[in-house]
Structure 1
């Protein structure tokens, strides 16, 4: 067996690309300058690996999957640096357990698989292979692999903190960031305000136009909020059709500016949905943090102002400070 020398490009060995998998065009690898070789049986694959080690082996699920798994297990033992990629259309628990526990595959993909995604997996597999066989490049490769992993972690962390529909920060993020804002107010006297907003007559809108239209309204409102807050402010989907904004600034002055812009733009906005034009409105309650407030009291104050806005006509922004004597 001849391993690849440092700097020498690795090739991809594809095992059993039968007619069932003809929809996968591996030509995209060739176009990227990657050498690919095919083999239809285990003996041919072993012979090819003895001549020159592959950077990665791609194997497909077949009805008699034991032969494929046994081959991958052979690769794991004889060529541990070669990356093992297993493609399967079966989600059978026994199959999954075998390819993980017996063959220790590096990547398990379900069919059908998008070419772009498969390409990314192969790229990661080759990067890992080069890391293992070229000791002189290990530090550079390790830095690259670490950067990829950190990028994935940051991506997943960001997704975990955001609402998937509106792309705004979610309720979990709201709780954490409001706690931070309260602590900064107490420790460093940094003022801030809170707004809680609610879309008016949203249930009626859903009943009239359908839930897909309602989702579109939520998305558009989220976009309008994002465009109208400053970098140092934060916007959240508070829950359902409720949204929240935390803004830094002298008492509620900055919040009033932001809420004013939001109201102007929402009143002018027409959403085109399936040949229908949809208009919507929102009500909001605002409150600024005070020395004697807890976080709960701040939320309750903004909620009380929102309730007042809803009760007295909707489609308006009410500051808790302006109605406090009436409550």
Structure 2
């Protein structure tokens, strides 16, 4: 950070998003710190002067962990220099917490925090283990399954970005298993790549008509396996976000939220696990649009979306229900624990500084929570959570109300 700059407010803002921040004032201290631990990312200020020690240190940093540079300069030579130094991002100075969170959450760094997930279906455990090791060495979270009968359950548990499947297995062949997977609407788009010794074009074309996304011929070279799997999984993750997510916030949209909520309820009933639903609404949101403009209102919605995704579990379903209302499905969580978590989030979000041009303000939200203890299905679950949300607003807003809590 530049000398004389108080980075405390930025540190507190990032802490509200769940990031643990260490502040260092000298490049030498950064070099020593990197010898002791590898952070999620290094964010460094630079004016790109020839004698800037950060510039000298940048290649070593970027080879260790993602490097984000922030600078008051935005000219092309600086952008090119940042690229050549190995930086994965160049942000404006003064640094805004929401811009940094965007980069950490949605940019190239995000895969380090949320690795690509691949399910390997292979009846030979030795081969499955080999493929798992090869992909894991490239940062992929690979899980193998040798029993085709357990694959649908595994997909529900893992939510993979790609399925790598042997075409010929004793219990059933890959085409039959692919048909079983494609029968389920929420699983229809997951890319399936076959592993097979099959080279007959007519067989491969038949498989492609079923929605199979590609073939890898055994024995497959590790380099081919990695490139094929990672590129297809990345593309699916990106396309899925376009289709299933709200265009402004990046959260699940209304229809996909309901579809996944129904699946979550079925799993909870089957496994005798608790499930809670939180309906969240920004308080007096119309005043923000009227006072600061609709652009500021959109920014608040974005900030809340980032905040929820960073602070909640990866397995929690977070969606924009409509307007300024959000829904959060907390699988495996009893209602009292859900109440505690949402109340903690409510308090922390109210401390975030929202920006509108040269002005800043704070924003609060209200929450209503229901659970499967008192609801029969998703319709009654939403209805009861809405009733609790209405109670929270009637009681003065900026509070959490839960059914039976």
> How high is the TM-score relative to the length of structure 1?
0.52
For each residue in 1:72-108, what CA deviation from the matched residue of structure 2 results, as whole angstroms up to 9, or x when unmatched? xxxxxxxxxxxxxxxxxxxxxxxxxxxxxxxxxxxxx
Partner residue of 1:164 out of 236, 244, 247: 247
Taking the aligned partners of 2:257 and 2:367, their CA distance within structure 1 comes to 17
Partner residue of 2:322 out of 213, 235, 239: 239
**Aligned CA distance change for structure 1 residues 230 and 142 (closer, same or farther; 3 Å):** closer
Identify the residue that residue 304 of structure 1 maps to in structure 2. Answer: 387
Identify the residue that residue 272 of structure 1 maps to in structure 2. Answer: 355
**Aligned CA distance change for structure 1 residues 234 and 142 (closer, same or farther; 3 Å):** closer
For each residue in 1:142-164, what CA deviation from the matched residue of structure 2 results, as whole angstroms up to 9, or x when unmatched? 99568645542332122211122
Q: Is the 8 A contact 2:343 2:399 kept in 1?
A: no
Structure ID, larger Rg: 1
Q: Runs of 4 or more off by more than 6 Å in structure 1?
A: 140-143
Partner residue of 2:257 out of 171, 174, 179: 174
CA-CA distance at 1:293 after TM superposition = 1.2
Q: 5+ unaligned residues in a row in structure 2: which ranges?
A: 1-219
Taking the aligned partners of 1:227 and 1:154, their CA distance within structure 2 comes to 18
Residues matched between the structures, number: 186
Identify the residue that residue 253 of structure 1 maps to in structure 2. Answer: 336
Identify the residue that residue 195 of structure 1 maps to in structure 2. Answer: 278
Partner residue of 1:293 out of 376, 379, 388: 376
CA-CA distance at 1:193 after TM superposition = 0.2
Q: Is the 8 A contact 1:238 1:244 kept in 2?
A: yes
CA-CA distance at 1:173 after TM superposition = 2.3
Taking the aligned partners of 1:142 and 1:188, their CA distance within structure 2 comes to 35
Q: Secondary structure at the match of 2:320?
A: strand
For each residue in 1:230-281, what CA deviation from the matched residue of structure 2 results, as whole angstroms up to 9, or x when unmatched? 2322211111100111113342133122212211112211212211112111
Q: Is the 8 A contact 2:296 2:355 kept in 1?
A: no
Taking the aligned partners of 2:271 and 2:384, their CA distance within structure 1 comes to 22
Taking the aligned partners of 2:400 and 2:255, their CA distance within structure 1 comes to 25
CA-CA distance at 1:141 after TM superposition = 7.3
> How high is the TM-score relative to the length of structure 2?
0.42
Q: Secondary structure at the match of 1:223?
A: helix
Q: 5+ unaligned residues in a row in structure 1: which ranges?
A: 1-136, 323-327
Q: Is the 8 A contact 1:224 1:265 kept in 2?
A: no
**Aligned CA distance change for structure 1 residues 147 and 243 (closer, same or farther; 3 Å):** same
Alpha-carbon RMSD = 2.5
CA-CA distance at 1:203 after TM superposition = 1.0
Q: Is the 8 A contact 1:186 1:291 kept in 2?
A: no
Q: Is the 8 A contact 1:285 1:318 kept in 2?
A: yes
Q: Is the 8 A contact 2:320 2:326 kept in 1?
A: yes
Taking the aligned partners of 1:145 and 1:262, their CA distance within structure 2 comes to 40
Identify the residue that residue 50 of structure 2 maps to in structure 1. Answer: none
Equivalences for 1:71-220 in 2 at 5 Å?
144=227, 148-149=231-232, 151-220=234-303
